[in-house]
């Protein structure tokens, strides 16, 4: 199957933005509210809400982004992307009941600041960098009048950045199972067509979020093994 043209790729992106408007704003507002609650009142109820929110986001991305609006993209990858999104959604949904993740700010300020930078990038920075690169994530609201739109929750890459930042900050009480497919998506992003062919250089933030998440996971596992060694 021939590679999709640059123009067709960005046409699909623009059509998607217009089709789902104003869901983009709703998802970003919910994400910000959950983050504020995490700072003010973390706990089991909030953990369920965050897991539920991320489950809905990845189901939306798998179904609406990949299978409905961008089926042409998915077919070229033999539907690998939506399948991965459904796996991630399943793990977040499962954690509503298993309660592996305790979403809260770390007792290490440096980790909090890095995570907050990636969270800010997922909500504002990603589409802003795209705009600077000539990839406006926007919709026409009246004639030639267009509005910028956030894309957290409706696009896979900024949503993965957001998820990895939350889980990395929560470690060692972050669900490590769901981090595996998230890290796979982020670390191999530099090898995919979006960056190589279509110039989606805003995805470099996704790659760096993956590096950060991988380091946080390795440190957490190492500390857990050290602690177990002391106990034995």
Query: Looking at the domain assignment, is residue 230 inside a domain?
Result: no
Domain that holds residue 212: 6-223
Q: Which DSSP category does 145 fall into?
A: E
- Taking residues 132-159, report their average pLDDT: 87
pLDDT beyond 50 at 232: no
pLDDT beyond 70 at 148: yes
For residue 81, which of 160, 134, 179, 176 has the smallest C-alpha distance? Answer: 160
Query: Do β-strands 138-142 and 145-148 pair in parallel, antiparallel, or remain unpaired?
Result: antiparallel
Secondary structure (3-state) at 232 = coil
For residue 15, which of 87, 65, 52, 61 has the smallest C-alpha distance? Answer: 65
Query: Looking at the domain assignment, is residue 232 inside a domain?
Result: no
State the CB neighbour count (10 A cutoff) for residue 68: 14
Query: Looking at the domain assignment, is residue 37 inside a domain?
Result: yes
Number of domains in the chain: 1
> How far apart, in whole angstroms, are the C-alpha atoms of residue 67 and residue 180?
23
Residue in the structure block whose two tokens are 């999104």: 85
Query: Looking at the domain assignment, is residue 228 inside a domain?
Result: no
Contact 164, 213 (CB under 8 A): yes
Q: State the pLDDT confidence band at 229, using cuts at 50, 70 and 90.
A: very low
Query: Looking at the domain assignment, is residue 231 inside a domain?
Result: no
Residue in the structure block whose two tokens are 């490590």: 176
- Taking residues 167-187, report their average pLDDT: 94
């Amino acid at each position: 199957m021939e590679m999709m043209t640059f123009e067709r790729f960005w046409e699909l992106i623009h059509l998607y933005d217009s089709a789902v408007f104003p869901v983009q704003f709703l998802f970003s507002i919910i994400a910000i509210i959950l983050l504020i609650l995490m700072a003010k009142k973390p706990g089991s109820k909030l953990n369920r809400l965050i897991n539920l929110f991320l489950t809905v986001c990845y189901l939306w991305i798998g179904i609406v982004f990949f299978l409905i609006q961008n089926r042409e993209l998915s077919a070229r990858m033999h539907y690998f992307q939506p399948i991965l999104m459904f796996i991630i959604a399943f793990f977040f949904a499962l954690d509503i009941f298993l309660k592996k993740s305790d979403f809260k700010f770390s007792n290490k300020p440096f980790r909090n600041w890095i995570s907050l930078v990636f969270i800010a990038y997922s909500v504002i920075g990603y589409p802003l960098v795209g705009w600077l690169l000539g990839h406006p994530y926007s919709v026409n609201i009246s004639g030639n009048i267009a509005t910028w739109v956030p894309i957290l929750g409706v696009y896979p890459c900024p949503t993965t950045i957001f998820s990895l930042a939350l889980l990395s900050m929560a470690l060692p009480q972050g669900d490590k199972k769901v981090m595996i497919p998230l890290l796979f998506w982020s670390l191999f992003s530099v090898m995919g067509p979006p960056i190589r062919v279509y110039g989606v250089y805003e995805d470099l933030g996704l790659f760096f979020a993956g590096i950060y998440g991988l380091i946080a996971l390795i440190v957490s596992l190492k500390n857990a093994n050290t602690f177990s060694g002391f106990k034995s």
